[in-house]
């Protein structure tokens, strides 16, 4: 029990970077929190915090230990929820990882989710890097593309399509492409994958001659939001997922071109560790977004 108290005091202090705030959150005194952490450091024979008169910061060892301890406490919380028959009242911290542009399709759904499940505390990590779901302690990961063979459970969330877009000012200046070969005389904005360093292919046709088109690249970016902004600012034609440009198309900031040739579709998935029981909070979150995304 002393070890658990030490871990709880350590995790809360690491999250708030304050013994006083951690004590307030745990409902104990600041001196008790400090003693719990000190005993934990003594048993581990390592310093977890760098302390000063004004602030507390994690050491490198403390940061590593925090990630593991956070998962342990999350698992304990899940176990308590399961034993308390919490299926009708999901609760606890839910860590979700999704692509940087995922905020555009997921955040609009979150008010309804929060209203339906007010005891679920959402923590969202937006990045385009490949993450280790289990090692990094995520409950759910949302990703697009094909699935690698892994120890993860998966569920389809919805499909999207790609479009070619450009600003009206750019099209007035350079002309509107009417056939795929016309792209060779246009300025193209290309996306480079963060994970592989490769340029995203523009899947425009199954015809080998068309797939070998020379796309004059004037700007390469590794952030899809930046590609969108460059297109809106009139730098050229961009190849992007439809959900990213929907608002810009509605306002007239962007226009699509060569729609008849755009056949490529993407697929989003929800992934979670198969080694863990499907806790109530994971189940309701996956069910909720699967019913609503890209409908």
Domains of the chain: which residue ranges?
1-73, 85-295
Q: What is the DSSP letter of 259?
A: G
Q: At what angle do helices 30-44 and 2-16 cross, to 10 degrees?
A: 110
∠ CA 125-92-104, nearest 5°, is: 30
Fold classified for 1-73? Arc Repressor Mutant, subunit A (1.10.10)
**pLDDT of 52 strictly over 60:** yes
pLDDT band at residue 153 under the 50/70/90 scheme = confident
Q: Do residues 272 and 153 touch, judged by C-beta distance below 8 A?
A: yes
d(CA 148, CA 112): 32
pLDDT grade for 145, boundaries at 50, 70 and 90: confident
Collapsed DSSP state (helix, strand, coil) of residue 198:
coil
Model confidence pLDDT, tens digit, residues 219-248: 999 989 999 999 999 999 999 999 899 999
Read off the pLDDT of residues 104-123 as tens digits, 9 standing for 90 and up.
Answer: 888 999 999 999 999 899 99
Give the global pTM.
Answer: 0.62
Ranked by mean pLDDT, the top range of 54-68, 171-185, 268-282 is 171-185
pLDDT digit string, tens, across residues 125-143: 888 777 777 777 788 888 8
Mean pLDDT of 150-167: 85
Predicted confidence at residue 276, as pLDDT, reads: 54
Partners of 255 in beta bridges: 166
Q: Do domains 1-73 and 85-295 have the same CATH topology?
A: no
Does CATH number 1.10.1740.10 belong to domain 85-295? Answer: no
Report, as an integer, the average pLDDT of 249-275: 86
């Amino acid at each position: 029990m002393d070890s658990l108290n030490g871990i709880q005091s350590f995790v809360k202090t690491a999250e708030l970077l304050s013994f006083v705030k951690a004590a307030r959150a745990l409902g104990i005194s600041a001196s008790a929190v400090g003693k719990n952490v000190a005993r934990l450091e003594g048993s581990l024979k390592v310093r977890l915090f760098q302390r000063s008169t004004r602030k507390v910061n994690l050491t490198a060892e403390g940061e590593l230990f925090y990630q593991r301890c956070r998962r342990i406490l999350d698992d304990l919380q899940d176990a308590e929820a399961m034993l308390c028959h919490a299926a009708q009242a999901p609760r606890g911290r839910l860590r979700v990882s999704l692509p940087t542009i995922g905020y555009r399709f997921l955040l609009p759904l979150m008010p309804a989710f929060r209203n339906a499940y007010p005891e679920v505390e959402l923590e969202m990590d937006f990045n385009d890097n490949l993450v280790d779901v289990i090692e990094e302690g995520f409950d759910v990961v949302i990703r697009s593309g094909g699935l690698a063979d892994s120890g993860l459970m998966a569920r389809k969330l919805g499909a999207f399509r790609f479009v070619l877009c450009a600003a009206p000012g750019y099209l007035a200046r350079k002309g509107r492409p009417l056939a795929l070969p016309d792209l060779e005389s246009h300025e193209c904005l290309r996306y480079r994958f963060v994970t592989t360093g490769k340029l995203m292919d523009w899947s425009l046709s199954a015809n080998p001659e068309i797939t070998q088109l020379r796309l004059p690249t004037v700007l390469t970016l590794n952030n899809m939001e930046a590609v969108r902004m460059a297109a809106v600012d009139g730098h050229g034609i961009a190849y992007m997922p439809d959900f990213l440009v929907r608002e810009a198309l509605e306002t007239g900031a962007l226009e699509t071109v060569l729609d008849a040739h755009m056949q490529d579709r993407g697929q989003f998935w929800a992934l979670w560790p198969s080694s863990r029981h499907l806790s109530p909070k994971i189940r309701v979150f996956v069910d909720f977004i699967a019913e609503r995304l890209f409908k």
